[in-house]
Structure 1
């Protein structure tokens, strides 16, 4: 097995171990999600280890800004690169992660494919959807964030 394939195979296990470590030993965590739009459609991901369609995102690494993490995660998960200036939309408390997690939400006005997407151990598939035509299984949090942006719903404070 190549080193790349081994790393890809380990990603879900590393994510689960990180989540467990946070739950056991504390510390506040910061994640990011990105509302990426191209040609009027929103880019969503379906993970291999949790059900539903989600906004692309993940954790912020040490010495990395939240915006840089949002751009990196968008590219890593989908192969799409954000173009234009990312706009910070809000910071949300995510109680599902041991009551210590916050999610910074960004919106990018456009994104372009830079790498062909291939399903992997973390992301099963990606899709572009009209905001009013989201797929079955789109998570409540994802639907709410999109409604806040596109329909003017007041922002919630919880993810």
Structure 2
């Protein structure tokens, strides 16, 4: 599934958002994925807890010139999310942000991102924290190619977010665009 061309006006096409002829297969795959999510998350966090005392992640709200937000859809968890991921040992938040944006969206920073807030992501683990950055200065040389981790990406208008956009993602978008007070919890 292709990333929506930021230079083309309008919302992404059904093919870009995952709808289309293969929707039935995707629905079956989505159901299977959802059924295994809780166990997979638990197993991952047991590993992370054994290997790390606390987990730290970064996410980015990448906003294009038309005010649309970049969202990604993972292969291993349901919903649409802001791009991001874990900070590796020896890596700064900025380095992790650059790496994750490149890996998930083929996005390269061309200016300094703005730290929007730090959040406890207790939905995942009581030890998980996320730093959210707002990114307005970037380039995307080409659309990302779907892979084992990221199956779809797209820039979406605020009034056309995919139905499966997560609650936490919607809350962060409301904070940045509408001034909704931040809660400190993802």
TM > 0.5: yes
**Deviation per residue, 1:68-99 (Å, 9 max, x gap):** 21121011101111222110011000112331
Runs of 5+ in structure 1 lacking a partner? 1-14
Runs of 5+ in structure 2 lacking a partner? 1-39
Q: CA RMSD in A?
A: 1.8
8 Å Cα contact 1:83/1:108 also seen in 2: no
**Comparing 25-34 with 37-46, which one deviates more in the overlay?**
25-34
> Where is the strand percentage greater, Structure 1 or Structure 2?
1
Query: How far does residue 127 in structure 1 lie from its aligned partner after superposition?
Result: 0.5
Q: Is 1:105 paired with 2:132? A: yes
Q: Is 1:37 paired with 2:74? A: no
Report 1:83-102 matches (<5 A). Answer: 83-102=110-129
C-alpha separation in 1, matches of 2:58 and 2:80: 16
Q: Which residue number in structure 1 is paired with residue 14 of structure 2?
A: none
8 Å Cα contact 1:41/1:130 also seen in 2: yes
8 Å Cα contact 1:26/1:100 also seen in 2: no
Question: Aligned to 2:63, what secondary structure does the other structure show?
Answer: strand
TM-score (norm 2): 0.72
Query: How far does residue 113 in structure 1 lie from its aligned partner after superposition?
Result: 1.1
User: How many residues are treated as equivalent by the alignment?
Assistant: 145
Q: Once superposed, which parts of structure 1, at least 4 consecutive aligned residues long, lie more than 6 Å away?
A: none
C-alpha separation in 1, matches of 2:59 and 2:153: 15
**Comparing 81-90 with 134-143, which one deviates more in the overlay?**
81-90
